[in-house]
Structure 1
Amino acid sequence: MTYLDSEKPRTSKFFNGKAIALEKMNRFEEALQYYDSAIEKNPENSSYFYNRALTLDKMNQFEEALNYYDLAIQISPLNQDYYYGKAVTLFYTKLVLKDIEYEQIG
């Protein structure tokens, strides 16, 4: 069955899929809104929190991304991807902070 976008059932999977498509088009702000809708519909799905964290990383909003990695980890503590994403973000933020320190010194 084919739906027009406005007629599709508004499920968490729909919102997540729409967010992923928007993210691939670099429409990050819009993607975040759809991730929020997916999370609102199904707050037990850790992948929605993880996907939102990945988008926030792309927007250089690292502190907020770390919060969403933590939420994903709380829901699914055995998912190694969530820990890896958080670790990469923490590592990157330390590099950014070092660059800022060097700029202030030099």
Structure 2
Amino acid sequence: MDFRFELSSSGARQLVWKGYVYHKNTSTGRCTYWRCAHAARLKCKATVVMEYGVMVRVKNPYHNHLPMKRLLYGMGKNKKRNLKNQNLFNSYRRVE
């Protein structure tokens, strides 16, 4: 199973597998459970179980949504907010 780890915009580690992003849900001594990043917002039940950093099984492989690009979820909003706070855009309205 081909997967990779990436950092979120806040610096947290995320699991990316088959175009879907997973957040760390919980971990025991040897197992780590990863839930779909859209678990709360879209009630997606997809879960991956890893043991000592190796993917062991996929508890629920079915997502109730299509894979979404990372920029559309989270990071895009932050970039837009940062641009707004920098006041780079001038108003075209004349003030007299």
TM-score by length of 1: 0.26
Of the two structures, which has the highest relative contact order with CA contacts closer than 8 Å and spacing of 6 or more?
1
TM-score by length of 2: 0.28
Structure of greater Rg: 2
The structure that is helix-richer by fraction is 1
